[in-house]
Amino acid sequence: MDTEQTKVAKPAGVTREKYSNRVVLKTILGRSDGGLGLVGERVVIGGWVRSSKEETKEPLPPPTPQAAEGVGETGPRDASCVEILQSRVPFIRSILKVVYGGNYHVREKLEQVVPRPPRTSIAFLQVGDGSCVASLQVVVASAIAPTIQLLPTGTCILVEGILVQPSVLGKHVIELKVEQILHIGTVEHEKYPLSKKRLPIEMLRDYSQFRPRTTTVASVTRISNSLTFATHTFFQNHGFLHMQVPIITTTDGEGFTEKFHVTTLPGKADKKEKPNTAKDTDGVGLEVIKSAAKEKTKLVEELKRSESNKEALVTALQDLRKTNELAAQLEAREKSKPGTSLKADKVKFSADFFPDQTYLTVSGRLHLESYACALGSVYSIGPRFRADRADMAEMSMIEIEMAFSKLEDAMSCADDFFKFLCKWVLDNCSEDMKFVSKRIDKTCIDRLQSMISSKVEKISYTEAVDVLGKVANKKFEIKLEWGAALTAEHLSYLVEEIYKKPIMIYNYPKEVKPFYARLNDDGKTVAAFDMVLPKARILLSGSQSEERLDLLCSRIQELGLPREQYEWYLDLRRHGTVEHSGFSLRFDHMVLFATGLTDVRDVIPFPRSYAKSNN
């Protein structure tokens, strides 16, 4: 028999990190054998203690004097009976000393007190390093390090040892027997918020700096990371170029959103906080205030129609009241000065960092158009900002723009992209998805699989209104009329009761979509769409952009937008215009949908919202 052919291939050894020389736990625990093939390997691992226990070893009884003297079964070789008695019974020893006086001598060896062996213990630590769901059992004897420093949850350790099989088989197929401690990052147990077991996820929102150490948030973060990689993979494979859009801009990307103003002028921010009098509105025209009031009124109406929380509605109502009061004061001030205009009373920005009023970007699609109209197809991933008290102030968006494409092309790309993300998560985050399914949402895996196999239903806004209008066995809180925004209740009924799958609603009334959406031939609707998923979540929104200069100028004028802000954008229509379309995907909501979590604050690493800016 050929012995070479009967040899079993030895599993590959551990892989050490290039820049830290430690072994990532995923490379041990993520193996098909759970790491069993690595028994005997010497490794350095680092991580944080998730849980721990201590087992105490009772010391062996001290050796008897006979054992110390080499006493055998036949009795002592040199010691007399008197010596034996005095060595065992202190009281008898004292009497003998009195009787014999100075002539009594005791062997020094028998006078020595045999010390009791010290108490020993072993710490069993469940250690995770963020690379995977599983944790490695790390065994440390008290002779190597004080167990009191190692046991608290959250303790950071860097240790070297040998991978061995546990002496008692059970949950773990492999453990690390520590031989050397390289680092201990201690924890103040009473002050550390994660010391309590199974802390509710809503309580973690106040401790964003520690949330990633929990298994739930770590899994969500790894899924989010995988979705980011999937995004780059999809668009790079389809010939898109990645670019960054500016965070600071002079242009309102949608024309009607609440924006964060950027300034370095001292005290200006304080004035913005108290818009109670006309003198606090330097640089703001009456038309701008009235436009803001109009949008805030629309927001209040949407909040009343939807199932949003009452706190958000109360806040929006208070904000609207203050805005209306300010508009009234400005109007009275303007009337009191005949022949003057508040437009001429604006702040001079010569003393500021930028010469014009600037904002944090709401959307990057306008800037993406510049590159799409030169390079073909482009995409961007990054933060977008809205000063919306009923929503997150900062969110992550994926935005794309394609030249030579129409609305149908954008809808097709959005559908393919969404299904690609769903499949990618299932294929590349199986362990995390199993954990999420167990701890958060039992249906999350089946839901993603159904999204992949389902054919999205495409219906026009008008068809959606007609379908909902024919529903007889359901009474909606808000009666839907053509031209009004679809509420969460309407969307939920369409997706979950009527079509029972994702839908794309297109050709919306122009009043509810951004100014740059292409006007349809009917003059009432625009080439825009939303992709709606179960639980009434709008994940994707897109449109074909208006490439006709005259119609775009008319829309800007119709909405009362400052024309000077958009001159650079209009130049794209003046010089080499082309049909183009694109869409935006709320990345945080994609993570929310994949994991089954219900609050977007739990998937954003450091959530920012009205009156809440942790860290």
Neighbour count for residue 510 (Cβ, 10 Å) = 22
What domain count does the chain have?
3
Asked whether the beta carbons of 489 and 442 are under 8 A apart, the reply is no
Question: Which of 284, 315, 348 lies at the terminal end of a domain, its last residue?
Answer: 348
Domain of residue 425, CATH code: 3.30.930.10
Q: Identity (one letter) of the amino acid at 400?
A: I
H-only helix segments in 336-361: none
Task: Give the pLDDT score at 315.
Answer: 64
Distance CA 611, CA 303 (A): 19
269 shares a domain with 251: no
Domain of residue 175, CATH code: 2.40.50.140
Question: Which of 348, 378, 394 lies at the terminal end of a domain, its last residue?
Answer: 348
Question: Which of 329, 348, 367 lies at the terminal end of a domain, its last residue?
Answer: 348
167 is a domain residue: yes
**Tens of pLDDT along 113-138?**
556 666 789 999 999 999 999 999 99
Question: Which ranges of the chain have pLDDT less than 70?
Answer: 1-12, 58-118, 255-256, 267-288, 290-292, 295, 298-318, 321-322, 325, 327-350, 536, 613-615
306 is a domain residue: yes
214 is a domain residue: no
309 shares a domain with 189: no
**Tens of pLDDT along 227-250?**
999 999 999 999 999 999 999 998
Distance CA 234, CA 371 (A): 19
Closest to 371 measured CA to CA, from 247, 253, 547, 244: 244
385 is a domain residue: yes
SS3 label, residue 403 = strand
175 shares a domain with 241: no
469 shares a domain with 441: yes
341 shares a domain with 360: no
Asked whether the beta carbons of 409 and 518 are under 8 A apart, the reply is no
Q: Identity (one letter) of the amino acid at 81?
A: C
- Torsion of the alpha carbons at 402, 403, 406 and 407, rounded to the nearest 10: 30
593 is a domain residue: yes
Distance CA 512, CA 483 (A): 8
278 shares a domain with 240: no
Q: Identity (one letter) of the amino acid at 568?
A: W
506 is a domain residue: yes
The alpha carbon of 514 is separated from its chain's Cα centroid by a whole number of angstroms, namely 28
Neighbour count for residue 440 (Cβ, 10 Å) = 17
427 shares a domain with 551: yes
Q: For the packed helices 444-453 and 430-439, what is the interaxial angle rounded to 10 degrees?
A: 120
Q: What is the DSSP letter of 499?
A: I
553 is a domain residue: yes
- Determine which helix (DSSP H) or strand (DSSP E) holds 227, and give its type and residue range: helix 215-237
Task: Give the pLDDT score at 7.
Answer: 43
Burial-class residue 370 by CB neighbours within 10 Å (0-12, 13-18, 19+). Answer: middle
570 shares a domain with 548: yes
Distance CA 189, CA 192 (A): 5
406 shares a domain with 343: no
- Torsion of the alpha carbons at 562, 565, 569 and 573, rounded to the nearest 10: 40
b/e per residue, 400-419, with b = 16+ CB within 10 A? bbbbebebebbbebbbebbb
269 shares a domain with 233: no
SS3 label, residue 520 = coil
Query: Would you mind telling me the total number of residues written for the chain in this entry?
Result: 615
Asked whether the beta carbons of 250 and 357 are under 8 A apart, the reply is yes
Give the residue numbers spanning the domain of 307. 264-348
Distance CA 171, CA 139 (A): 15
Considering only CA atoms, give the Rg of the chain.
Answer: 36
Task: Give the pLDDT score at 308.
Answer: 46
Task: Give the pLDDT score at 178.
Answer: 97
Structure tokens at 44: 């350095």
421 shares a domain with 309: no
Task: Give the pLDDT score at 532.
Answer: 96
443 shares a domain with 575: yes
Asked whether the beta carbons of 276 and 324 are under 8 A apart, the reply is no
Residue tagged 């010497």 (tokens):
42
446 is a domain residue: yes
Strand order in the sheet with 248-249: 248-249, 358-360, 261-262
Task: Give the pLDDT score at 477.
Answer: 85
